[in-house]
């Protein structure tokens, strides 16, 4: 299964294999769907396979150019367990956090408690061009776990 950083050439190659096999479904889950140049390779995959390109609607922007693909609604909302040591969390796409991301946990926590660093962190918005940034920065759709996790 191709991953987040797969090159469109790899995806088109997989589509050619699907066309040769005569079956298959090409589906994408993305938080930045519908922007060029994605429309080009998505349409190419649809033409190669003779099947619609299906994507799960997570965050389709209103200003996106229309492409020849079909939307599917995910059967459940995506869920994330986020913590300061996980690869995806509230600050993982902030440039200010990148300065301390590789520190040991104790040093990371100490820096996060520094009022000057916190001001800089909150003043620095997330890089919205990174994958999944929209999902981890929608505070109105997040709920905390009230249980201590081990």
The residue-averaged pLDDT of 35-43 equals: 72
pLDDT, tens digit, 9 for 90 and up, residues 68-81: 566 666 555 556 66
DSSP label at residue 22: T
Q: 46: closest CA among 62, 65, 67?
A: 67
pLDDT confidence bin for 108, thresholds 50/70/90: very high
Helices (H), 35-150: 38-49, 95-98, 105-113, 115-123, 133-136
- Tell whether the model's pLDDT for residue 94 goes beyond 80: yes
Q: Whole-number mean pLDDT of the chain?
A: 76
The predicted structure's pLDDT at residue 2? 72
The residue extents of the domains of the chain are 8-72, 95-140
Is it the case that residue 115 has pLDDT exceeding 90? yes
Q: Which of 64, 51, 2, 1 is nearest to 24 (CA)?
A: 51
Backbone torsions φ then ψ of 69, nearest 5 degrees:
-150, 165
* Residue among 65, 77, 69, 14 at smallest CA distance from 46: 69
Which residue has 């999902």 as its token pair? 135
């Amino acid at each position: 299964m191709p991953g987040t950083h797969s090159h469109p050439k790899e995806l088109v190659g997989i589509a050619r294999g699907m066309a040769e096999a005569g079956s298959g479904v090409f589906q994408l889950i993305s938080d930045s769907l519908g922007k060029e140049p994605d429309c080009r390779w998505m349409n190419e995959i649809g033409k190669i396979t003779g099947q619609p390109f299906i994507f799960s609607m997570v965050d389709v922007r209103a200003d996106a150019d229309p492409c020849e693909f079909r939307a599917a609604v995910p059967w459940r909302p995506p869920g994330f367990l986020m913590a300061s040591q996980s690869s995806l969390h509230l600050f993982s796409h902030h440039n200010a956090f990148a300065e301390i991301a590789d520190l040991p946990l104790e040093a990371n926590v100490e820096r996060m408690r520094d009022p000057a660093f916190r001001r800089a962190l909150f003043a620095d918005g997330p890089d919205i061009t990174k994958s999944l940034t929209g999902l981890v920065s929608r505070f109105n759709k997040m709920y905390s776990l009230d249980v201590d996790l081990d």
